[in-house]
Amino acid sequence: MKILKFGGTSVANAENIKRVLEIVNQKSEQDQLVVVVSALSKVTDLLQSAAAKAASNDESYKDIVAEIEKKHLDTLKALIPVSEQSSLLSHVKRIINHLETLLDGCFLLGELSNRTADTILSFGELLSSYIIAEALKQTNKNSGYKDSRELIKTNNHFGKAAVNFEVTNQLIREYFAANDSQVVIMPGFIASSLDGIITTLGRGGSDYSAAILAGALDAKVLEIWTDVNGMYTANPKIVKQAQPIATISYQEAMELSHFGAKVLYPPTIQPVLRKNIPIVIKNTFEPESAGTYISNQVSSKDTIVKGISHIDNISLITLEGPGMIGVSGSSKRLFEVLSNESINVIFITQASSEHSICIGILNSDAENAEQAINGAFEVEITQNKVDPCVVEKNLCIIALVGENMKNHQGLSGRMFSTLGKNNVNIRAIAQGASERNISVVINERDVKKALNTLHENFFEENTKQLNLFVMGVGNVGEKFIEQIHNQRKFLKENLKINVRVIALSNSRKMVFDEDGISLKEWQAALENGETANKDTFIARAKDLNLRNSIFVDITANASVSETYEEFLKQSIAVVTCNKIACSSEYDNYKKLKNLSRQFNAPFLFETNVGAGLPIIDTVKNLIASGDKVHKIQAVLSGSLNFIFNNFDENNSFHDVVKEAGVQGFTEPDPKIDLSGIDVARKILILIRESGYEMDIDAIANESFMPAESLATTNNEDFFASLTKHAPHFKAIYDEALSKDSRLKYVAQFENGKASVGLQFIPKDHPFYNLEGKDNIVLFYTDRYVDQPLLIKGAGAGAAVTASGIFADVIRIGNV
């Protein structure tokens, strides 16, 4: 014999019930079946709401009854031929009338007892099982119906009654020994006390009803049919990469179900565990899928962690004080108080000094628990031996579960490290001696990030998902997005990095998509986005609270650079080509570096100097390996190098600067490049990364530009001034020609002093043959004394700058 149980979504409506009947008829060809059914989807919630409204003298309970009636009558009419509906509809209406009478009583009395609540809630299963049994008779004549209340007997603990297994097992065996129906339909969730009063087995009790039947009848298997393909490695509604678990032990299933895996009601396992009856969780809507097989078999080849589960709406209560140290019975008194108040303790941890005990309970029990505990320890609190208990609400318990965890070291550390890297603060920790479960308490707002981060680490071949918030999508930004789009497959397959762009913003518009913006159509998405607002952008990035979040700044905006602190404090990494933050006051630069370390949030700015060239990374490696930089000589502006390489007797200074802008080598405001401030910022960043303290005003800026040009306030006036002062620029060029030299804008640092300015470079100098938009840097160090360490290559352009930003993003993915 097989026991099949179908949940609320499986019997939500007539269409779904037809699927159920197909499954039942197919399986009944091979085996005798007992089919346990839940109430139609959402009906139990409706009944609960109607009862609460009636008891509070809210007449809208009648509307709910009408809704329940319509739902069941519509379902019956869709399943039963018209010719046979009359008596069945009358029967359903009689049941509804009985329900309405009970609710009328609650309305008149203005109260709802637990006993009455059980009776009202039983109507969901009574109605659904009756309709399904009648529908099955249309295709399977050898089928019948049995009211579970006549077989499953309990005590009078209304709401979650305890089963009297001795009486129940005998009644079940006697009934089925005398019954030869191939299929018997029974309502789940409901039972009755020994004196015949209706009781219920707790929400989710239909699973339990089926397990009770399976245990009593020594069934071949217990099949739980639901709307998912079994138990998952995590909640698939929160973790989209979650996968069904093929096989799992009873103990693992119990742990997962206890910690919120709603596909299985926790008490279900007990009746079948004793008889070693396997449980199979199947999908009504994909019956061919294998589902999850639960038994006493544990394979050593299985994954270390079987699943990650969680319980929401948790409060943490801490009782502590010096008066508890060495005093026996404190724990007993605490738990006795909670037991007397019928408060279930979900989580326990105690300091080895006995100075404090910490417990996790449901939020709904927190206020009652606080009052009861403080009352029980009132004397000790008055004498300052024990502090009043501390209650922290809106928390969540997350648990790693797996039989094989006990055979592997370091899982706790791996779990805590994974959460810590994403700024998920652990409030409490518990691990049993069996090492089958590691539980932590965290803030409820972090649950999505925590579950996804842990799932990524333990189940996804260490594939790391990076969530990017990109501000600035001009020339460089476009190339950056294009490079991500082109390389996504390679990164996923070879580096195990999955890059998603969650948000994009330019100066006008911004767009967010928690599931990732389509990089094929990002321009259209951005154009149709909301009005850009920097503060809203930051707030949204924080609120989404996604794992491995990275803020990517591809602007030259000072106000954007001032937001880095906010991101780093949220453990959101920052990648930027914006030089303003790292060349700001030294104290601000150091603060950002310290915040990066404190909150474990990378702060990378390789493209601040040399675009895509590995200049800053090289300096970091030199310093980390114990070397010391004494002198730096560099051409750090690709745009200025391009300009002076192309400025000659045939090309005016004005025209060359224009062309540099067209090709994207200069900033939108070319004065930033031509004033020397951009180069000054770059050498300052290299000086700071080399371990020296310096501010921008300590760098001598020997400008070659006329004061009038630098004083202009818009590009039109600026370019007009270049034409006006053409003789000034020609004189500089002629002087270089007369000295058989080339013009290079050079940055220097030596003996604690730094300068930037235009220089005449002779033929024998390493800078002389620097072509196009290339940069070059010479580092003189303890190790590189006579021959400097030289880095040379393209130092400007959208593509190379974007590649440098992309490389920083990949660095974070590889951390």
pLDDT(50) > 80 = yes
- CATH 3.30.360.10 positions along the chain are 625-795
Q: What angle do CA 789, 792, 797 make, to 5 degrees?
A: 150
Q: Is 490 helix (H, G, I), strand (E, B) or coil?
A: helix
Residues 135, 139, 143, 149, Cα dihedral to 10°: -10
- Give the whole-angstrom CA distance, residue 135 versus residue 519: 51
What tokens were used for 199?
């009781």
Confidence band of 260 (pLDDT split at 50, 70, 90): low
pTM, to two decimals: 0.74
Answer yes or no: are the C-beta atoms of 456 and 465 closer than 8 Å. yes
pLDDT tens digits, 165-178: 999 999 999 999 99
Q: What is the pLDDT of residue 434?
A: 56
**Cβ-based burial of 296 (10 A; exposed 0-12, middle 13-18, buried ≥19):** exposed
Q: Is the pLDDT of residue 182 over 80?
A: yes
In the three-class reduction of DSSP (H, G, I as helix; E, B as strand; rest coil), residue 244 is classed as strand
Residues of the chain with CATH 3.30.2130.10: 307-456
pLDDT of residue 351 exceeding 70, the answer is no
Segment among 267-271, 426-430, 673-677 with least mean pLDDT: 267-271
Report the distance separating Cα 524 and Cα 356, nearest Å: 57
Distance CA 690, CA 627 (A): 9
Structure tokens at 372: 């009861």
Contact in structure between 630 and 622 (CB atoms under 8 Å): no
35 by DSSP, 3-state: which? strand
Condensed to tens digits (0 to 9), the pLDDT of residues 355-413 reads 788 999 999 999 999 999 999 999 999 999 999 999 999 999 999 988 877 767 778 88
Q: Kindly state the percentage of the chain with pLDDT values over 70.
A: 97
Using DSSP bridges, classify how beta strands 497-505 and 437-443 pair: parallel, antiparallel or unpaired: unpaired
**548 in Cβ contact with 467 (< 8 Å):** yes
Q: Where are the CATH 3.40.1160.10 domain residues in the chain?
A: 2-227
pLDDT number for residue 433: 56
C-alpha 245/C-alpha 262 separation (Å) is 14
Calculate the alpha carbon distances from 587 to 201, 698, 700, 811 in Å.
Answer: 64, 15, 21, 26
Q: Are 452 and 471 in contact (CB under 8 A)?
A: no
Q: Where in the chain is the domain with CATH 3.40.50.720?
A: 464-611
Q: How far apart are CA 582 and CA 579, in angstroms?
A: 6
User: Rounded distance, CA 9 to CA 21, Å?
Assistant: 14
Number of H helices, E strands in the chain: 29, 30
Count the helix, strand and coil residues of the chain and give each as a percent rounded to the nearest 5.
45, 20, 35
Question: What would the mean pLDDT of 659-664 be, rounded to a whole number?
Answer: 87
Which residue bears the tokens 């072509």?
Answer: 771
Mean pLDDT along residues 612-620: 94
Reduce the DSSP state of residue 226 to 3 states and report it.
strand
Alpha carbon 166 to its chain centroid, in Å, reads 47
Please give the pLDDT value at position 352: 60
Cα dihedral across residues 256, 258, 259, 265: positive or negative: positive
> For domain 464-611, which architecture applies?
3-Layer(aba) Sandwich (3.40)
pLDDT at residue 326 greater than cutoff 80: no
Percent of the chain with pLDDT over 90: 77
For the domain bounded by 2-227, which CATH number is listed? 3.40.1160.10
Has residue 303 got a pLDDT over 90?
no
Supply 529's token pair.
Answer: 């986005």
Q: Do 425 and 211 form a contact (C-beta atoms < 8 A)? A: no
pLDDT at 210: 95
Structure tokens at 460: 């996804």
Q: In this predicted model, what pLDDT tens digit does every residue of 776-786 receive, in sequence order?
A: 999 999 999 98
Among residues 397, 386, 452, which one has the least CA distance to residue 419? 452
Class of domain 625-795: alpha beta
Catalytic residues: 682
Give the least confident one: 200-209, 513-522, 719-728.
Answer: 200-209
Q: First-to-last CA distance in the chain?
A: 54
| Residue 808 pLDDT grade (very low, low, confident, very high; cuts 50, 70, 90) | very high
Q: How far apart are CA 400 and CA 411, in angstroms?
A: 9
- Residues 134 and 81: their CA atoms lie apart, in Å, by 11
Strand-strand pairing, 221-226 and 2-6: parallel
Burial grade of 772 (CB within 10 A; 0-12, 13-18, 19 or more): middle
Evaluate whether 796 touches 611 at the Cβ level (below 8 Å). yes
CA distance 117 to 44: 11
The domain at 307-456 falls in which architecture? Answer: 2-Layer Sandwich (3.30)
266 has pLDDT over 90 = no
pLDDT digits (tens, 9 = 90+) for 450-486: 999 999 888 887 778 999 999 999 999 999 999 999 9
Average pLDDT, the chain: 92
The helix/strand/coil state of 594 is helix
Residue 82's pLDDT is 94
pLDDT (mean) for 537-565:
95
Which one, of 435, 398, 433, 434, lies nearest residue 418 by Cα?
398
The model's confidence at residue 354, banded by pLDDT at 50, 70 and 90, is low
